[in-house]
Amino acid sequence: VRDACGAGSAGRIAYAMALDGLFFAGPDRAHDRLRTPRVAILAQAIVAGGLVLALRRFPSLLDYTTFAILLAAMASTSALYVLRSRRPELPRPYRAWGYPLVPAAYFLANAAIAGALLYGRPLECAVALGVTATGIPFLFVFSRRERRWRPGSPDAGGDPR
């Protein structure tokens, strides 16, 4: 269940984001002796427990997680195209093999699987969409905060923390 809810790595993602000022303060605190992100891991365990209580069965948790991962894969593949069109001057230390066809095929395959899941498991997909949507307001708050903090940005103020 830990892996199905993302608790293995998600706590460390929140920890890294908090260190960078892209998340709330608190998850950036590590255990004094073990140096593990204890607050972030505890918060993620609570979220995972809530998902277990809400979805109640392992197959439902697995479908929820699979759908959320498919959405993330589709978003990152889309970002590849957006970044290449908006910022063509950036260096590309790693080239996407078979671009633009292979990433497009990957996107379409993920979309097909996500569509099948949406049709066959609408509750789990709705929960994944709902949980994802709760992050949208935070995206705007923290991305604005990060822009202000980034040196050379038009509204650069100071450290966001």
pLDDT tens track for 95-133: 878 999 999 999 999 999 999 999 999 999 999 999 889
Confidence of residue 25 (pLDDT cuts 50, 70, 90): confident
Nearest-angstrom CA–CA distance, 78 and 104: 9
The pLDDT tens digits for 78-102 are: 999 999 999 999 988 888 789 999 9
What's the Cα-to-Cα distance from 84 to each of 71, 78, 150, rounded to whole Å?
A: 20, 10, 22
Identity of the amino acid at 73: A
DSSP state of 154: T
Query: In this predicted structure, what is the pLDDT of residue 106?
Result: 97
Average pLDDT over residues 32-49: 87
Nearest-angstrom CA–CA distance, 87 and 74: 20
Confidence of residue 149 (pLDDT cuts 50, 70, 90): low
Nearest-angstrom CA–CA distance, 100 and 105: 9
Nearest-angstrom CA–CA distance, 158 and 42: 30
- Position 155 pLDDT exceeds 50: no
Task: Provide the whole-model pTM.
Answer: 0.73
Confidence of residue 4 (pLDDT cuts 50, 70, 90): very low
